[in-house]
């Protein structure tokens, strides 16, 4: 199983498997170390007892008589045999073999034994494993060299004690490992309890409940995920609200013109005179144009509210020139002087060019529609400090100052507005400007008396060609 497959499994199962595997291998290592440590401790204890018997013989060796005199501690040997639960053998001999007491068939140690240092080894003696302790004592008054003292005991008692000691230690380690495994399982279950509660809370919610998830009892490790979910819920609720508003706006704005069109079609079907039928068709054509414009503006507003902002460094002078040229035919048709005043310096902003084109088109279109014949509409672009701006001013009737804060609301039309309109143009501009972290300023044009609309945006470095 690769890591991706492991991550796709249950988090609880993954934690339990990984942690219990660590407990298992740690327990095995602990048992092995306990076994080796216990074995070494038992051997050290029994070897000290064996060395004690050797030292008891050593202190009873005398050279005062001109030879080697030895008084064996039989009482100690009997006690040692009881402790060893078996026979105890000894051998006392000079290296030249002139003196030999005890078991002569006990093998001598190799040359690696140094005088004055005890040496222990396990050999097969008399058909069973035997532990032999050897001590070489220098003889000071005799010319025989060294005296070799050996004591041997059967390993039966030692092995039995060692097995009991090791089994008790291993049983303790196994019990601790089982306890640790149980604690791991309980800890994992308890630690993941907030996640189960979170799941139950989400599942118990109603389908239309978009309120943020309570984070008071959420663990710190999961908090970033819940915060991201709450942020997504907020954005999703805003999207749903926008869609509901769009449906409400569309049904409200399109119901009346469609009903009017149906009435006009019925009237045209009943009218016998051709010129009246033509008049009705002309009225239907105008009504369709207004309805299409309203539908386009509703779609533009919905796009401004919900579309993804992919901003780039955009030349506002080039964009404003494009919009102005595109609307020149409309201005000429309405006998309006549409002009453009650029800047001597580059003017760039970090915006989505398509959305900003839509916003500026709405400003210029509104200005042309509300400017009387022989009036003027001027588009300007400039830069102030770190702010890039584009403005549209006209010589129309303007908007009463008391109504300026309200004209960016959907479907709001100023009290002095004449002709057809949906009241969505400035709402579209406001939505697009806000999504670009900009500001829309509306005021009375100081020289012409009409409306001055100015979009201010964060400036950007000019895009390299």
CA–CA gap between residue 159 and residue 314 (Å, rounded): 90
Q: In terms of pLDDT, which residue wins out, 367 or 15?
A: 367
Residue-wise pLDDT tens digits, 306-331: 666 677 888 999 999 999 998 898 89
Q: What is the pTM of this model?
A: 0.48
Residue-wise pLDDT tens digits, 200-210: 877 887 877 77
Q: Measured between alpha carbons, how far is residue 127 from residues 82, 154, 155, 276 in Å?
A: 21, 10, 12, 135
CA–CA gap between residue 160 and residue 415 (Å, rounded): 109
Say yes or no: domain 60-156 is CATH 3.40.190. Answer: no
Residue 459 reports pLDDT greater than 70: yes
**Residue in 407, 406, 393, 378 with CA at minimum distance from that of residue 449:** 393
- Give CA angle at 207 (249, 431), nearest 5°: 30
Residue-wise pLDDT tens digits, 347-391: 889 888 888 888 888 889 888 988 888 899 999 999 888 889 999
CB 132 within 8 A of CB 120: yes
CA–CA gap between residue 109 and residue 96 (Å, rounded): 14
Whole-number pLDDT of residue 273: 78
Averaged pLDDT, 164-179: 82
CB 106 within 8 A of CB 89: yes
Residue 342 reports pLDDT greater than 90: no
Residue 426 reports pLDDT greater than 70: yes
Residue-wise pLDDT tens digits, 93-134: 877 666 778 788 888 776 677 788 888 888 888 777 888 888
Fold designation for 312-458: Heat Shock Protein 90 (3.30.565)
Averaged pLDDT, 421-448: 79
247 phi and psi, to 5 degrees?
-65, -40
Please state the separation of Cα 344 from the chain's center in Å.
49
Q: Measured between alpha carbons, how far is residue 375 from residues 64, 332, 338, 361, 378 in Å?
A: 144, 11, 9, 18, 10
CA–CA gap between residue 455 and residue 418 (Å, rounded): 25
What is the average pLDDT score of the chain? 78
Q: Indicate if the alpha-carbon torsion angle 382, 383, 387, 388 is positive or negative.
A: positive
């Amino acid at each position: 199983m690769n890591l991706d497959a492991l991550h796709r499994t249950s988090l609880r199962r993954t934690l339990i498997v990984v942690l219990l595997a660590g407990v298992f291998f740690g327990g095995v290592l602990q048992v092995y170390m306990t076994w080796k440590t216990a074995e070494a401790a038992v051997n050290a204890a029994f070897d000290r007892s064996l060395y004690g018997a050797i030292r008891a013989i050593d202190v009873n060796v005398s050279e005062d008589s001109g030879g080697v005199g030895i008084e064996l501690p039989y009482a100690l040997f009997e006690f040692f045999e009881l402790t060893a639960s078996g026979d105890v053998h000894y051998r006392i001999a000079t290296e030249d073999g002139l003196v030999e007491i005890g078991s002569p068939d006990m093998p001598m140690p190799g040359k690696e034994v140094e005088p004055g240092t005890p040496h222990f080894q396990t050999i097969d003696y008399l058909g069973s494993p035997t532990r032999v302790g050897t001590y070489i004592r220098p003889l000071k008054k005799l010319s025989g060299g060294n005296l070799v003292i050996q004591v041997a005991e059967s390993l039966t008692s030692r092995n039995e004690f060692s097995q009991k000691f090791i089994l008790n230690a291993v049983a303790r380690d196994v019990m601790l490992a089982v306890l640790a495994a149980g604690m791991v399982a309980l800890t994992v279950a308890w630690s993941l309890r907030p996640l189960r509660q979170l799941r139950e809370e989400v599942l118990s919610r109603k389908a239309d409940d978009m309120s943020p998830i309570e984070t008071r009892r959420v663990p710190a490790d999961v908090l970033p995920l819940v915060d991201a979910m709450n942020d997504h819920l907020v954005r999703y609720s805003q999207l749903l609200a926008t869609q509901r508003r769009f449906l409400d706006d569309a049904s409200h704005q399109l119901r009346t013109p469609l009903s009017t069109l149906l009435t006009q079609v019925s009237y045209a079907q009943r009218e016998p005179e051709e010129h009246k039928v033509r008049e009705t068709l002309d009225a239907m054509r105008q009504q369709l144009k207004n309805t299409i414009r309203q539908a386009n503006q509703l779609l533009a507003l919905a796009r401004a509210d919900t579309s993804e902002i992919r901003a780039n460094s955009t030349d506002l002078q080039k964009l404003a020139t494009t919009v102005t040229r595109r609307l020149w035919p409309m201005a000429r048709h309405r006998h309006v002087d549409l002009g453009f005043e650029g800047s001597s310096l580059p003017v760039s902003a970090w915006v989505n060019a398509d959305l900003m084109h839509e916003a500026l088109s709405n400003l210029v279109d509104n200005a042309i529609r509300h400017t009387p014949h022989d009036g003027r509409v001027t588009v300007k672009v400039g830069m102030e400090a770190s702010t890039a701006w584009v403005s549209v001013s006209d010589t129309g009737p303007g908007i009463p100052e008391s109504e300026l804060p309200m004209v960016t609301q959907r479907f709001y039309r100023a009290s002095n507005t004449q002709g057809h309109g949906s009241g969505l143009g400035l709402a579209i501009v406001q939505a697009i400007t806000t999504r670009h972290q900009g500001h829309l300023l509306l005021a009375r044009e100081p020289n012409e008396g009409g409306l001055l609309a100015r979009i201010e945006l964060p400036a950007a470095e000019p895009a390299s060609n």
